[in-house]
Amino acid sequence: MDLLNTLVDKGLRRELPTREEALAVLATSDDELLDVVAAAGKVRRQWFGRRVKLNYLVNLKSGLCPEDCSYCSQRLGSKAEILKYTWLKPDEASEAAAAGVAGGAKRVCLVASGRGPTDRDVDRVGKTIEAIKEQNEGVEVCACLGLLSDGQAERLRSAGADAYNHNLNTSEATYGDITTTHTYADRVETVHQAQAAGLSACSGLIAGMGESDADLVDVVFSLRELDPDSVPVNFLIPFEGTPLAKEWHLTPQRALRILAMVRFVCPDVEVRLAGGREVHLRTLQPLALHLANSIFLGDYLTSEGQAGQADLDMIKDAGFEVEGTDNVTLPEHRLPKDRQSDEASGCGSHQGGCAPCGSEAAPESDAVAEEPASSDARTDLVAVRRRGAGTDLAPNA
């Protein structure tokens, strides 16, 4: 396909596709799916080889959130029967994090429900970060605490945080349909605050909320402009008791097309296969490793993932390898100047020749998007987390 050849060439040069090309990826047929995966896989391997970064979630405070995000089981008014608990103590959070690190996780993601942290909360999380890093040499820590106030990103950075996550989730045009208690602009501002403080920005999306192909392309193009280092791609987990419980729009094939589109638009960033992969990709999860270079290990915030060992087996069986703490995740050109080598060229992330970076134009595609196809509800695959943080049971890692 001329479209895929064009997208591969652009991806190897870190050149932005056109909107028409991105929409055309989402409109490809199931007969073309393996060609799409193979093409996007070339771009993924160019910048990240066959490495898979493992991340581990620790839910520091679960439920009882005052925000009304329709997709969230922790939202205001949620009737989902999830775990509800207040802040974990630093030693409890560190113990939970250690299980993920022992399972191979390179990054620990500390998450707390709520609109945003108070200054006291930032102090509390800072102590947790210190405890985790004291016990786990080389581990990265990402905080996800909601909207930040002035100075809080700097304080988290001083406490040892490496990154901050705040997802855009959906397009600006449809954001008000999903959440009314804060704005899309609020989310963008928080990502900017994290970047200004020297934190590695992590911001992604949620697919499957009834959005159009145009909405998906809009949010991914917005993410490209925002320029985070990592882009988590979540697939809606339709929890009973939330407004989006009946939204089952994704098939495994569509989920793969979405991941491929994200890789083409954001070729040299960490694309993370995040929440909902087990629910919507199901037996096609290994194919997604050809598109994403990062996954969450084990369980999520309020739902169960597949067994941690199953994740490791899947990576090995698919011919990939777990990224170690001695590996630098990002291509060298995305690193701070003081971490780049004097002889850096191309991607700088692996041995062997890389395509040079450039901005040569390529022909646009005439392809148009199609409406999302719906799939049968698989409520049997949505399981509430009952182990790990906030419980007396061992975590899944």
β-bridge pairing 321-322 and 107-112: unpaired
Adjacent-strand bridge partners of 53: 294
DSSP label at residue 169: B
- Give me the pLDDT at residue 392, please: 79
**Residues contacting residue 303 through CB under 8 Å, at least 6 positions apart:** 73, 237, 239, 275, 382, 383, 384, 385
For residues 386 and 395, give the distance between their C-alpha atoms in angstroms, rounded to a whole number.
9
Which stretch of DSSP H or E encloses residue 232? strand 230-235
Adjacent-strand bridge partners of 235: 207
Phi and psi at residue 24, to the nearest 5°: -65, -30
Helical spans, DSSP H, in the chain:
2-12, 19-26, 33-48, 90-102, 119-135, 152-158, 175-178, 184-196, 213-226, 252-265, 277-280, 285-288, 308-317
Whether pTM > 0.75 for this model: the answer is yes
Of 166, 171, 271, 266, which is closest to residue 219 (Cα–Cα)?
171
| CB neighbours of residue 205 within 10 Å | 26
In a domain, 387, yes or no: no
Task: Report the CATH number at residue 21.
Answer: 3.20.20.70
Question: Which residues does the chain have with pLDDT short of 70?
Answer: 338-339, 341-375
For residues 45 and 264, give the distance between their C-alpha atoms in angstroms, rounded to a whole number.
12
Question: Is-contact 76 68, C-beta < 8 A?
Answer: yes
Place of tokens 């009304």: 68
Question: Is-contact 355 13, C-beta < 8 A?
Answer: yes
In a domain, 89, yes or no: yes
- Tell me the catalytic residues: 65, 69, 72, 109, 142, 202, 272
In a domain, 345, yes or no: no
Phi and psi at residue 159, to the nearest 5°: -80, -10
Domain encompassing residue 165: 2-327+364-381
In a domain, 353, yes or no: no
In a domain, 356, yes or no: no
For residues 42 and 50, give the distance between their C-alpha atoms in angstroms, rounded to a whole number.
11
DSSP label at residue 85: B
- Give me the pLDDT at residue 375, please: 54
In a domain, 53, yes or no: yes
- Give me the pLDDT at residue 380, please: 74
| DSSP codes, 277-306 | HHHHTGGGHHHHTTT-SEEE-S--SSB--S
**Residue 17 is encoded by which pair of tokens?**
């596709």
For residues 61 and 329, give the distance between their C-alpha atoms in angstroms, rounded to a whole number.
29
Q: Is 358 helix (H, G, I), strand (E, B) or coil?
A: coil
Q: Residue 390: left if φ>0, alpha if ψ -120 to 50, beta else—which one?
A: left
For residues 265 and 15, give the distance between their C-alpha atoms in angstroms, rounded to a whole number.
8
In a domain, 336, yes or no: no
For residues 374 and 363, give the distance between their C-alpha atoms in angstroms, rounded to a whole number.
32
In a domain, 337, yes or no: no
Count of the separate structural domains present in the chain: 1
